[in-house]
Amino acid sequence: MGGLLDQAFNPLADALRVSGYRQQLLSANIANADTPNYKAVDIPFSKTLKAIQAGDQGGLPMRTNDARQLGGSPASVGLAAFVRYQRGNQVGLDGNSVDMNREQAGFLQNSVMYQADLTFLSGEIKTLNSVISGNVI
């Protein structure tokens, strides 16, 4: 049964993970709008999600040379490998490339996508609960 649950929930979990990470990047861009020499970054959502679902974790895993060392979170290490500098933004005299209009629009769009994925996941869980409890609608 775990296989069926994984099949149902893993794509949603992957989408939420990529959206959440993208939200962090966009937030960092907005927070650094006045930081000299800061270059705006982002991840291509669709390309990253497809790669993650295909098993590509985006790069080399962290290795340790002692069993007592922590290897790092594969989720965060993997997604960081997909981060790219944004192209097409004008760079100011201070070397900053953050376009606030672009960042705010991207942040809002990503928030809506994240919320939609959460709503869908919530519906899936409610349906599963109904089936388990025998209250099928």
pLDDT in tens, 4-60: 777 778 888 999 999 999 999 999 999 999 999 999 999 999 999 999 888 866 554
Tokens 């669709």 belong to residue: 46
Task: State the Cα–Cα distance between residues 4 and 132, nearest whole angstrom.
Answer: 14
Reduced to 3 states (helix: H, G, I; strand: E, B; else coil), residue 34 is coil
**Model confidence over 70-104: pLDDT tens digits?**
555 444 457 899 999 999 899 999 999 999 999 99
Number of independent structural domains in the chain:
1
d(Cα 108, Cα 125) in Å, to the nearest integer? 26
Residue 27: domain span = 2-133
Total-model pTM = 0.78
Please tell me the predicted confidence (pLDDT) of residue 132.
Answer: 84
Q: What is the pLDDT of residue 137?
A: 58
CA distance 20 to 110: 9
Output the pLDDT for position 107: 97
- pLDDT score for 8: 76
Does residue 58 come out as left (phi exceeding 0), alpha (psi in the -120 to 50 range) or beta? Answer: left
pLDDT (tens digit per residue) in 58-74 = 554 556 677 776 555 44
pLDDT single digits (tens) 100-126? 999 999 999 999 999 999 999 999 888
